[in-house]
Amino acid sequence: MPEFNMLGKTLLLFGVVLIILGTIFLLVGKLPFSGRLPGDIVIQRKNFVFYFPLGLCVLISIILTVIFRIFKH
């Protein structure tokens, strides 16, 4: 049953990643620089506002890439 052992570890890893991402999304509104990074997409219409923090996503991706590369070795 080594397959179940590996599956369990993978599911735990995904759970930890989801908890970390959820915490990041909760704290994004409280960060002083959120919403003002270059590359953020904001579309405002009469009764509709679409906001996609592309700059923040790129920043988080770079930070997570560095962290994962450090722990990989």
Average pLDDT of the segment spanning 15-40: 76
Share of the chain above pLDDT 90, in %: 5
Cross-strand pairs, 51: 42
pLDDT of residue 45: 92
Q: Name the average pLDDT for the chain.
A: 81
Which of 18, 54, 16 has its CA nearest to residue 35?
A: 54
pLDDT at position 3, please?
78
> Using DSSP, how many helices (H) and how many strands (E) does the chain show?
2, 2
The rounded distance, in Å, linking the Cα atoms of 58 and 17 is 17
Split at pLDDT 50, 70, 90, the class of 34 is low
